[in-house]
Structure 1
Amino acid sequence: MTGPVELERLAVVAHHERAEAREHAMAIAEWCRGREIDFWIPSVDGDELRLGDHASDRPVAEADVVVSLGGDGTMLRSVHLLGGQAVPLLGINLGSLGYLTEVEPDCVVDALDRFALGAEAGEWHLDRRMLLDVSVNGQLVGRALNEMVVEKNQSGHTVRLLARIDGHPFTHYEADGLIVSTPTGSTAYSLSARGPIVSPQHRAILLTPVSPHMLFDRSLVLSPDEVVEIEVAGHRRADVAVDGQPQSVLSPGDEVRCSPSASTADFVRFGTYRYHQILKSKFGLADR
């Protein structure tokens, strides 16, 4: 067992529409002040929550830990702001039961105290989640914690997409779109498109069609080392989104590439992460 971690810099990413986010951000700022820890919040969050004294354009990736105040959406935003940097992310749940957050609001200060005591003292550990590098025509546009989606650009029409796996053509899809997801994202958009539920401790890539107009409508569960390429093969354009955020519009012949990232999303956990219990609660499953 060792002493406390060297916690010198802490950043908060907050949900703008959660009234309690300001209160908890101020409590975290006070906790940092008492320990001479450098504290800041992104300018857009500081402006919305009236925390201008703490607002900064400084990248959150410079922090020793990032605290996410919100729900799973805020956790996704925090991961994107980190830009693939290996910074521990502590999620404070200000929404309904989430898949990604760890701590309830009334336990914020206790969680920070435990984090400061250190992982080697057995107070916390990291839950490392797989990310996907997403490139459009060879240009990296983002890293997906949940999924990358290529979908139709025009309402009322399908889009024709060619899927390649490790450079080899698999098949053409006539569909509303294609989802390439991680195990973490298996309970997001992929699930609503009838994709399988995969434990987030697993490493895999899921390819799931959205409303396919063809007999083959199954998801594929691929090796985490395989690369998925999707080409717009028809005459209609398509949109690309990463974790729900629009990235670009594809023209016929354009291609999206999804590959396993060397980076991970590192979530702070204080005990055993019981994903199956969270899943059970989400779906209202009863004991048998």
Structure 2
Amino acid sequence: METPEPATEQFETHRPLLLGLAYRLLGSMGDAEDIVHDAHLRWTGTERAQVPDPRAFLTTVVTRRALDRLKSARVAREAYTGPWLPEPVATDALGPLDTAAQRDTLAYATVHLMERLSPPERAVFVLREAFGLPLGEIARILDATETNCRQLHLRAGRRLAAGRDRFTLSEDDHAKLLAGFLEAAQNGDQARLADLLSEDVVAWSDGGGKVRAALWPIEGRPQVVAFATNLVARYPFGSPRRVSVNGRPALAITVDGVGQLVTIDVSEGRIDGIYAVLNPDKLGHVPG
């Protein structure tokens, strides 16, 4: 087996962190991998003796290229068929998850919520919250002032506050709540379903125009209960398979022969967000 070039070997030590950064900024693992590949090419063509801090250099390259990609991606997402949801990704593919902030910024609901931020707000939020960079360093990466970055961070925090005040369940309790939801739906137990859902629960389905899915979010407890029970009554469900994506348990299932990934968000012990990703183009990074 050939020994990797020193430049590549050094880059590989940073790859997991860079993938986690790019994914948080873009919500797409495919795009994140493209950005990290570009960063590798940039790294191998750089005189590394002139780079005192490789991690800072690569973080800057990935952030700037991801921002450029995000600006163009937002236009495409506005024309997307139905709700656009992030690509679910196997937990172990997304870099370090050593801190609560790293786990929170990777949670599926948070990545989805970050779509409401402007690209600069998203970059400042991710760099500050997930990676703990000082505002001065973030300002250098974004070629902005520290004051402006502070304002962007505060604005991002306010925009995400309503969706991030979470009561965190253990992994097993989270999985039991998700399994309980699916079981109640399959049994047509509307009372049990209603008990599991928050009053203002929202269900999103992302088929991307590739497979049949709801074209609008389903909002409110009665509407979600009716939607879930009607769906199960009309179409055969396969056996669910528990997987770990974005740091949380999820279920891989088939409905009427169509594979999908279902995950939830929880607030105060009840489900207040349901995310069903059916678009086959977005299921390539779900654990097998």
Give the TM-score normalised by structure 1: 0.31
Give the TM-score normalised by structure 2: 0.31
User: Which of the two has greater strand per residue?
Assistant: 1
User: Which of the two has greater helix per residue?
Assistant: 2
